[in-house]
Structure 1
Amino acid sequence: MSNTSRKPDWTPDNAGDEFASRVVKGVESRHDGLPAEAPPSPPGNRPGPRRRRLAVDDYVQGVRSGDRTVLARAITLVESNAPAHLSTAQDVLRQLLPHTGNSIRVGVTGVPGVGKSTFIEALGMHLIGQGHRVAVLAVDPTSSVTRGSILGDKTRMERLSREANAFIRPSPTGGMLGGVARKTRETMLVCEAAGFDVILLETVGVGQSETMVRSMVDFFLLLMLAGAGDELQGIKKGIMELADALVITKADGDNVQNAARARAEYNKALHLLAPATEGWTTRAATCSALTGAGVDRVWEIVEKFRAQTQASGVFEARRKRQAVAWMRSMVEEHLLARFFGHPAVQAALPDVEAAVAGGSLPATAAAQKLLNLLES
C-alpha cells in the first residue's frame, strides 16, 4: 500500500492487516469543484499544440471546400460575443456572401413534445436519400437561472448526425426573444456557402415571441399533435396564421384516425385565416416520423411552395425584406449594447431602477433621464 494512504478514523481497534479500507488524500479544490492547481501531466502525456489561429482566407477556403472542422469554427466565430471576433467574422461573411442564397430555408416549430427533432431527422434522412445536403440549426433554450444550455440535439438525431451530407449545429438562444439564437441568420449564410442546399431551423417551441423565426426563413412549418385538446385552440396563439403548412405528427398506430380528423379540422379553420404567404394556400397534412409515412408528402409541399413563389417573385421579395429587417435588428441590438455599456448609464442605473421600483420616479421619466446621460 502506498505511504500516501492511511486507515480511516473509524477503523475498528482490533482490525488487522486484512482490513483493506484506506483513505487517500484528495485534490484540493476551489468552490466550483475544479482543482486549485492543475496536476502535473504524466511523462509522455504532454498536451498537444494549440490549434492554429485561422486567418480570414483560411475560414473562407475551409468553408467553401466543405471542411467540417473549419465550418464549425467559422460558426463559432460568428456566434462569438467577443469584440475582438466581430471584425474577423464580418470579413469572413463578406467574402462568403456571394456564395449564399442557394438553399431553401425551412423553419420548424411546435409545442414541446410534438416531436420536432424526430421529425427533422426523418425529413433529413429522406432529403439525403434524394441527393440533398442538409444543415440542421437546432436552437436550445438557455436557462434563465444558470444561463446554460444542454445542446443535446445531436443525441436526438443519432442517424442523421452520422451522415456525411448532414451537418447539425445546436446553439443556445442566449435568452433572446423569439427562441432563435442571436446569430442564427449569419450561421445560415455560412452553411449555405459550405454547399448545404436545405437549411432546417428547429426552434425552441411555440409562443407569441416565437414568431421571430418567420422573419428569417422561406417556409414556416408548424407541427401539431392530434387529440391534445381543442384542435382550433391553436388559432388563439397567433402562430397558425404565420404557417405555410401544418403537419399533424405521430400519425401512426392507433393515432392514424385521430390525426386524419385533426387534419380535416385544421383545413376547415385555415380557410378563415389570411394566407401567410401571398398567393399560397396553407394546408394541413399528416405524417409519422416513426414509420416515415407522409414525410415525402411534406417535402413535396415545400418544393411546390418554392416553385410557385419563385415564379411569382414572392420568394425573392420576401428575402429582400428579411435582409433589411435583419439589418434593422442588428442596429437595435448594437444600440442597446452601447446604451447599457455606457459608463454614465452604468453608474446611474442602480439608483434609477430603485427609484422606479419604489414608485418615486415614473418609468418614462426614468428612461428619459438615462437617455439624456447617453446623449450628454
Structure 2
Amino acid sequence: MDFNTPLSFSVTERFLRYVTIDTQSDPASPTCPSTERQKDLGRLLVKELLAIGLADAHLDEFGYVYATIPANTDKADVPVICFCSHMDTAPDCSGKDVKPLVHLNYTGADIVLPGDNTQVLRMAEHPDLKNQLGNDIITASGTTLLGADNKAGVAEIMDACDQLINHPEIKHGDIKILFTPDEEIGRGVDKADIAKIGAFACYTMDGESAGNMENETFSADGARLTINGVSSHPGFAKGKMESAIKIAGLITAALPYELSPEGTEGMQGFVHPVDMAGHVETATIDFIIRDFEEGLLVNHADAIRKITEEVLKNFPNSTYTLDVKPQYRNMKNVLAQHPQIVDYGMEAIRRAGMEPKLCSIRGGTDGSRLSFMGLPTPNIFAGEHAFHGKQEWVSVQDMQKAVETILHLCSIWEEQRPPAP
C-alpha cells in the first residue's frame, strides 16, 4: 500500500497540546485512576475522537478511553486489531506546567534548556541524537519532564485515526483504540475491558528509537522485606536494642553491585530496593525483582533471603519475613504463539522506510499484562527518549514515522488474514 497523496500530519500539534495537561499518576493512591487529573486528558481525547468521526468514543469511570474506527473493506473476517498508549506520566519528575519547546533543524550542537541551564542535551549522553540531524527536537523547558512517555504514542494514535478517516483508500478492518491511565505505577490495565475491545491483537505505541519493535519484557515480582528488631530505651539499650532501621541499612548495603540496576544491562536481571520505612522495632524494604527468565526471579528473591539471614547472624533476637508477589510476566511467551503479530509489525516499519529492529525491554509495558489477559501485545516505537527526567525529548520526524507505521499495520492486517488462533 502506497499513500496516494502526501499525509498532512497533525501529530506535532496534538502532542504539544497534550503535554501541557498534568496527568501524573500517584502510586500512593488506591483509586482508579490514581489521579482525577488523568481524566482531563481523557475527556479532551474523547472530544477530539468524536470530532474525527469515531462515534463510539467514550471515557469510562476508571479513566479509560475506548473508540472504534469501523472497517472500510469488503473483505470478511479481517481480524480486529487495537492500538494502545497510556495517558499518565511518571511520578518520578514533575509533570505540572510543562512548557514544550521545538528546536528546529537540529545541528548536533548541545541543546541548553532555558528553565535550568544545567540541563543540557549532549549527543555524547543521548546517542540517538546522531540520527536526528536536520530534524526538529521537542523538549520541555528544563524544570519538568516532557511527557513524551507516553503522550507521543497518544498523539501518534490520534493522528493515525484522523488519517484513516480522511484516507479511505487505506483499507482496514475494525480498529480499536485504547488509552489507559496509571501505566507508570504498574496498574495500567487493571480495569481494562478486554471483552469490550474484542481484538485479536494489540500494539502499544510506547517504545524508544524509530524502527524499534519490542516483543520481550522483563518478568517482574515485587517483594516486601519486613525486619522485626528489638526496641529498648536508648539510655538503657546496651546489649538489648537491635535496631530494625540499622539492620535494613546493612541489608541494602550488602546487595551485590552485579545484581543491581546500575550494575546490569542487556539481558541481565536485578534486585532493586525502591522504598524503605520504619523505626527501631520494625522496618520494611520494598524491592522490585526483574529478569527475562521467569525462573530466575526465585533465585533473586533467595539472594535477598540469604543476605538478610547473614546480616541477622549479628542480631540474634531479630527476625524477618519476605513477601513476594508477581507483577507481570515476559510477553514473549504469549507472542511466540502468534508470530504474525510481530511479523506484521516489522513489515509495517519496513514499509514506512525504516530498517526494523526487534528488541527487548528492560522494563514492562501495558502490553506485558494485556498479553496474559488474552490480548497479545508487542510494543512499537513512539520516538520517546530520556523518559522520566527533565531531559526527555522526542523528534517530530520520528513521531510522523510512527503514524505511518500505524497506517501500514492497518493495511497489512487487511491484506493478510492470519491463521485462526
Shorter-chain TM-score: which interval?
Answer: under 0.3
TM-score when scaled to structure 1? 0.25
Structure 1 or 2: larger strand share? 2
TM-score when scaled to structure 2? 0.23
Structure showing greater Rg: 1
